[in-house]
Amino acid sequence: MNQKVSIVSTGSFLPEKILTNADLQKLVDTSNEWILERTGIKERHVISNGEATSDLAVKAAQNALTQANLSSEALDLIIVGTVTPDQLVTSTACYVQNKLGARQIAAFDVSAACTGFIYSLTVGRQFVMGGNHRNALVIGAESLTTVTNYTDRNTCILFGDGAGAVILQPGDHGHEILYTSLFSDGSGSEMMSRPSGGSKMPNTVETIQNRLQYLQLRGREVFKFAVIKMVQLVKDSLSKTNLSMKDVALIIPHQVNMRILEAAAEKLEFPMDRIVINIERVGNTSAASIPIALDEAARKGMMKKGDIIIMVAFGGGLTWGSAVIRW
């Protein structure tokens, strides 16, 4: 069975609370000018006490369901890409299934850091291609600010919270997924990690005192990796789909850093005004970043029927991947 699969609707949600560069200046030795110049970020949305990743995911999902004119009872699969689950035991997807009032369907999380949405989309597409699933909900949702070290100026300026969702159906009546690719290289796992809190190093008073439960990055190394992978992913996606750069209407990249996107655009000789960017308002939301940018672009009317869209992501793992959509 190898049938076509389409995205039939999109949705996104950003929590209300905002953390500006001026707020960060009060926490660490940094400045609005430095953050803006080095990352392109002005502010990010942050979850509030009592809110969890599944709450953001549910709101994004409800937007996508409304747009598709579907009730949650029509769903037969829920996949959540996240590295900031509500809890380590009980997948965020199970919380989403319950909060949406969906039937007792398959629901699971996918862990691929910033590539989490592309991984989840690919898995969802395979399920729908298999022929037994007709309405698959695929979400990227993160609350990275809950695992951010607000005494480390190298990382705390980057991250925000949010969620984006799509609904997949068999057929080409929506925005057809033409191609997806997934890659990994575990030898680079230390480039981005949260050392403690897993089986390798359970949290203790000492690990907490040393702040090992928070995200650590080798920013400069990630920077180089991201530029190389963004260029490779776009070129690979085009060659596998027999398309060329001039066929591409928009690139929707993981919102990692404005300078990374500019460097990759220059190498690809692709105009910046056709790269969807919301990093200024949203920051880096890991697995949520592409589906949020996709939904915002769709709602702004940036895509027209037939447009070729390439989505590219790269992140912890290391992982990277792409998806080509005919809008």
Q: Does 217 bind ligand UT7 (CB under 6 A)?
A: yes
In terms of phi and psi (left: phi > 0; alpha: psi -120 to 50; beta: otherwise), the region of 160 is: beta
Nearer to ligand UT7 (CB atom), residue 106 or residue 217:
217
CA distance linking residue 110 with residue 189, whole number of Å? 17
Cβ distance to ligand UT7 smaller for residue 136 or 279: 279
139 within 8 A of 19, measured Cβ to Cβ: no
327/307 Cα distance (integer angstroms) = 5
230 near ligand UT7 (CB under 6 A):
no
Q: Is 83 in the site for ligand UT7 (CB under 6 A)?
A: no
| DSSP structure string for 141-192 | EEEGGGG--TT-TTTTTTB-EEEEEEEEEESSSSEEEEEEEEEE-GGGGGGE
Let me know if 254 is a catalytic residue: yes
CB of 127 to ligand UT7, least distance (A): 27
Q: For residue 234, state whether it binds ligand UT7 (rule: CB under 6 A).
A: no
**Catalytic one among 135, 175, 254, 257?**
254
**Closer residue to ligand UT7 in complex, CB, 9/285:** 285
Q: Which of 200, 219, 216, 86 is nearest to 149 (CA)?
A: 216
Which of 21, 114, 135, 257 is labelled catalytic? Answer: 114
Residue range at the interface with ligand UT7 (CB under 6 A); choices 10-18, 152-160, 244-252, 261-269: 152-160
- Based on the shown chain and the rule CB under 6 A, indicate whether residue 315 belongs to the binding site for ligand UT7: yes
Rounded CA separation 75/91 (Å):
17
**Cα–Cα distance, 52 to 307 (Å, whole number):** 35
Cα 238 to Cα 270: distance, rounded to the nearest angstrom: 13
CB of 36 to ligand UT7, least distance (A): 11
Residues in contact with 90: Cβ distance below 8 Å, sequence separation at least 6, in sequence order:
none
* Size of interface with ligand UT7, in residues (CB under 6 A): 20
Active site residue 284: yes
- Name the DSSP letter for residue 271: -
- Report the residue from 7, 52, 227, 256 that binds ligand UT7 according to the rule CB under 6 A: 256
Query: What's the closest the beta carbon of residue 156 comes to ligand UT7, in angstroms?
Result: 8
Closest alpha carbon to 197 in 113, 115, 84, 107: 84
Stretch that binds ligand UT7, among 92-100, 149-157, 241-249, 265-273 (CB under 6 A): 149-157
Residues acting as catalytic residues: 114, 254, 284
List contacts with ligand UT7 (CB under 6 A).
30, 34-35, 38-39, 114, 153-154, 157-158, 192, 217, 219-220, 222-223, 256-257, 284, 315
